[in-house]
Amino acid sequence: MPDHRNVLAFVMAGGEGSRLHPLTAERCKPAVPFNGKHRIVDFVLSNLVNSEIYSVYMLVQYKSQSLIEHVRQTWTMARFMPQHFITCVPPQMRNGPEWFQGTADAVFQNIHLIETMKPDLVAVFGADHIYRMDVRQMIDFHIQSGAAASVATLPVRLSQSDQFGIVDIDDNNRIVDFKEKPSTCDPMPGSTTHALGSMGNYIFNADVLLEQLRKMHENGTSDFGKHILPSMVKSHKLVAYDFDTNHIPGTEPYEEHGYWRDVGTIDAYFDAHFDTLGAAPKFRMTNARWPIYASPDQAESAQIENGVINRSVVGSGSIIDGASLDHAMLRRSVLVERGARLEHCIVMEHSRIGRGAQVRRAIVDQDNDVPAGERIGFDLAHDRKRFHVTDSGIVVVPAGYFHPGAKHHAHPAARPAVRTGKGRLEVVA
């Protein structure tokens, strides 16, 4: 039988997300939209709630207002169940006028929450990843192993070792070394190309975590990956939980087993979107047995007058009027006018793609009115003068770049839902 002892969760949602700029110009990384109607933070929160972990503090910091509003509107818990909550917590500055100095310092600044709740276990999870995970399976492993702390792990390429905490383990999954983002490292046993990387998800015995946080504060250190976990290797039993063993009900055979993506860069964020498209995607957003919850949606249904659409997502309230979409991801209330073509694009809320405009390999942030005849993604030298362009050629149009401040709530999204009439829709399989 699974062990359902008392668990308190901290979600580290204070990331600035500088590598996702300009998408993070006005919002923190966990608040960045993903797919048709989600935000990145919805994945970790859904995993916790689906795992029956209902006491969640989200530690926020940089440009957090849109994240706070999203949580307030989406993640409401019953007021008559006081142990069921998802609450945003900004820096408390109890020990001076300082923001969070690191992941462990963020928890230390809120140590009173642990002392008040008195949980058996504390889960410390990141908010920046696209994945499904049954956290209770990791908790069961943690308890059965008799560990003081457990680290969720998965193989990462040696060339990416400088982006992860890298762990070495013995034959019993006990961690014998933990290095935070080393420039080089040895491969994991049985591989010549991969090392064992930390996912940034931890389970601690509450008493051990309290002890380590107080010791950290005395020593002037501040981070789990840089300080606490490496020091605990010598003094406590730390184990590596193999994420590959995590089983999610409702997963289809065609999905990538153990799908997990760090979407901390524009390229990774862009690619992860297209992993969700098609009849047999690598990661299926729809899973009734393990849903990824999204914000309430009051918009009308999407309306398609006519057009050619290939492997795309059309968000609620959007209108396609004689346009061509090929691997396009439209969020809410996007108008694509006649003759426009979108190819491998992400277009965010309340934007309009004007008549005859052509956009490819681009992310168009919200509140943009792309002019008729505009071409984006065809002349990268010209695009770089106006927009951020990644090394791989993905163009990012900042929010409100075209007609800054304009809100396109007034485009004709209020017409009757999904009207075919005289229109012709050709959907390419």
pLDDT tens digits along 347-402: 999 999 999 999 999 999 999 999 999 999 999 999 999 999 999 999 999 999 99
Q: How confident is the model at residue 411 (pLDDT cuts 50, 70, 90)?
A: very low
CATH of the domain at 328: 2.160.10.10
Q: Which two tokens stand for residue 12?
A: 């580290």
Q: For residue 355, is it within any domain?
A: yes
Q: What is the DSSP letter of 188?
A: P
Q: For residue 193, is it within any domain?
A: yes
Q: Could you tell me the residue range of the domain that residue 331 belongs to?
A: 303-428
Contact 388, 376 (CB under 8 A): no
**Dist. CA 213–CA 108, nearest whole Å:** 6
Q: How confident is the model at residue 425 (pLDDT cuts 50, 70, 90)?
A: very low
> Looking at residue 240, what is its pLDDT?
98
Same domain, 229 and 362: no
Same domain, 217 and 97: yes
Segment of 65-69, 201-205, 226-230 carrying the highest mean pLDDT = 201-205
> Looking at residue 417, what is its pLDDT?
33
Q: For residue 137, is it within any domain?
A: yes
> Looking at residue 148, what is its pLDDT?
98
Which one is predicted more confidently, 424 or 260? 260
User: Looking at the predicted structure, is the pLDDT value of residue 181 above 60?
Assistant: yes
Same domain, 207 and 141: yes
Rounded mean pLDDT, 192-206: 97
Q: How confident is the model at residue 93 (pLDDT cuts 50, 70, 90)?
A: low
The overall average pLDDT reported for the chain is 89
Location of structure tokens 């440009």:
63
CA distances (Å), origin 274, targets 8, 106, 142, 398: 34, 34, 34, 20
Number of H helices, E strands in the chain: 9, 25
Same domain, 239 and 316: no
Rounded mean pLDDT, 49-53: 96
User: Looking at the predicted structure, is the pLDDT value of residue 404 above 60?
Assistant: no
Residue of 187, 117, 183 whose CA lies nearest to 156: 187
Antiparallel, parallel or unpaired: β 38-39 and 33-34:
antiparallel
Q: For residue 150, is it within any domain?
A: yes
> Looking at residue 83, what is its pLDDT?
77
Q: Which of 245, 263, 292 is the last residue of a domain?
A: 245
Same domain, 119 and 40: yes
Q: For residue 257, is it within any domain?
A: no
> Looking at residue 251, what is its pLDDT?
97
> Looking at residue 84, what is its pLDDT?
86
**Dist. CA 335–CA 353, nearest whole Å:** 6
Q: How confident is the model at residue 79 (pLDDT cuts 50, 70, 90)?
A: low
User: Looking at the predicted structure, is the pLDDT value of residue 429 above 50?
Assistant: no
> Looking at residue 279, what is its pLDDT?
93
> Looking at residue 403, what is its pLDDT?
76
> Looking at residue 61, what is its pLDDT?
85
Same domain, 207 and 309: no
Q: Which of 245, 271, 288 is the last residue of a domain?
A: 245
Same domain, 75 and 164: yes
> Looking at residue 78, what is its pLDDT?
61
CATH of the domain at 125: 3.90.550.10
Same domain, 216 and 350: no
**Dist. CA 365–CA 358, nearest whole Å:** 16
Rounded mean pLDDT, 233-243: 97
Per residue in 259-285, pLDDT (tens digit) is 999 999 999 999 999 999 999 999 999
Q: For residue 340, is it within any domain?
A: yes
> Looking at residue 128, what is its pLDDT?
92
**Dist. CA 371–CA 351, nearest whole Å:** 11
> Looking at residue 422, what is its pLDDT?
38
Q: For residue 330, is it within any domain?
A: yes
Q: For residue 292, is it within any domain?
A: no
Per residue in 4-30, pLDDT (tens digit) is 579 999 999 977 778 999 999 999 999
Per residue in 115-133, pLDDT (tens digit) is 999 999 999 999 999 999 9
Rounded mean pLDDT, 211-222: 88
Same domain, 234 and 320: no
Same domain, 118 and 211: yes
> Looking at residue 51, what is its pLDDT?
97
Same domain, 180 and 328: no
Q: How confident is the model at residue 294 (pLDDT cuts 50, 70, 90)?
A: confident
> Looking at residue 17, what is its pLDDT?
79
User: Looking at the predicted structure, is the pLDDT value of residue 419 above 60?
Assistant: no
Quote the number of domains for the chain.
2
User: Looking at the predicted structure, is the pLDDT value of residue 258 above 60?
Assistant: yes
Same domain, 227 and 332: no
Residue of 381, 376, 378 whose CA lies nearest to 351: 376
Residue of 99, 58, 102, 210 whose CA lies nearest to 149: 210
Per residue in 129-171, pLDDT (tens digit) is 999 999 999 999 999 999 999 999 999 999 999 999 999 999 9
